[in-house]
Structure 1
Amino acid sequence: MGTVRIGVGKSGPSTEFFMEADWVRQDWGQNFSVLGVWLRARNTGNTSSFFNNYGEQVTWWGGGELGRHAGQPFLPGGLGNGATRWHDYWEHRFYHDGNGFLGGVDFGMRLTYGNFNESHYGSIGAPGRIPKPPTAPRDLRVADVTPISAGVNYSGPADWRGSTPLGYTADWYEINGSNNPRIWSDVNSNGYTNPAGAGLTDLLKPGTTYHVYIYARSNVGNSPSASIALTTDAGGRIKVGGQWRNASPWIKVNGVWRRARPSLKQSGSFRTVR
């Protein structure tokens, strides 16, 4: 039994007619809600209450018929007061829009038997939104660039589209002209991603271009990615094979060659500037 949306009492013979409807389930993957529809009639007279000719109880909405009970005799006798004459059930799919929304549904119920040919109207409110993956992160900005580090600031999606936020992923790719490998996947960023902030101080190279792809994660899937390109500062330049290339200075420490980083004295203290 559903929630009564339309109820009509008639005499000759004494009968109550009901149209019931409820949203009974949703399919998130297929993006639809299911409307359960019932047509019900109840005898409110005595056992001799009847209508032997043909009759119909029909319900519909703007997109077509939802259910129909028809027959002859339409209201047979022999049923006691309060007895259910019929209680029929149908299901119909209503598809949500691309953002997961679906409006309410207006419907009618028509009674056609004997001298009656009349329509009555009701409605049901909108079902819950079907969650969708969020829109892409926004407003990506390069920040804190040095020869061996760089960061990206970003804002969250404009619309999580009814889904539950689970965080962000920032994938870093090194653009080297060949296979362009992914060098790091940052799954703990929240508005800012930087390998150095995760302790990966030797991950980025001087004078190298990187593409960063950021997407939002939710309980129903990931957003499209937003991307930005950045290039780390060059440590120096050297001519190789007739072409100038970015170079990184190295020094020998205890017999081992290590990348050198220039410093500048500020307020009496040396600070790394590259």
Structure 2
Amino acid sequence: MEADGVVRRIPKQLVRKGMFIESVECPTAEFSARRFLLDTDDTLRAILATSATHALVNAEKSKVDIDAGPSPAAQQAEERRRTVETVAEAKSALRGSFDAARMGRLELDTLNPVADEISDRIDAAPDVFLKVTRLKTKDEGTYVHSLAVSALMMRLARSLGYGDESVRELGVAGLLHDVGKLMVPNAILNKKGGLEAEERRLIRNHPEVGYRLLKEQGNISDTILDICRHHHETLDGTGYPAGLKADQISPEIRLSTVCDVFEALTSARPYKRPWTTRDALNWMFDRGQLFDKKMVIHLGGIFAG
């Protein structure tokens, strides 16, 4: 098919509306449609969410010139611009939601568009998204961390076969998982030196505080509540606050834990330098007593290729 020049193999990130898609190079379980005109944002989003790196596009049947797209450098610059813009808007919205939660007036539906926007950005350019969200100032660390964890959770959930509604719910869970840190002074969260016993207790108590805060809203799903409360649990029972072990920890909590730890390791903190993606994944994989290895492998697949 490629020999006659009509069908071209192009990187997934360059696929856009108006192209006639012959196929997407991924398992049919991820994306089964073949030989169609790409004409909706939802379908484009679904293609970007697959594990594929390339798609086959029919130049003759396309409504746009498939060679008229931006250069790779220009494409990268545009992805970064859009990601920076999306993160800034999402951060502002999340700050408002955290404040509303503190006052008992959280409207959960307001977080759905935030989840959708950051999901689109990590699907389009995972590496760009990770780089942008690594750039946190002290006063916005919790918010940007939560955005990044949310995006990673949605991307990982899709790779594991979760449906659209479940993916969005996990995205909202990621946005809210650290809401309990509202009650921890920034001076403690951003402290460079070692923590005193009372400071350590306050930080380790943030999942329980966040859980109670969300529980009082009265409109939060059990999945979101469980992830807020238990995202620091580990498979060997050494986590907190409940010391849950293996079978007591749901797949959704395991997923959130892997994404939370990965984002923390790859971000700069007052007390450490950021790790590379590879070092963070290897470190987590080597600690199968703590983290679900299947989750770690799938998370690594997001940044492969």
- What is the TM-score normalised by the length of structure 2? 0.22
Please identify the structure whose Cα radius of gyration is greater: 1
Compare relative contact order (CA 8 Å, sep 6+) and give the higher one, 1 or 2.
2
The answer to which structure has the higher helix fraction is: 2
More strand by share: 1
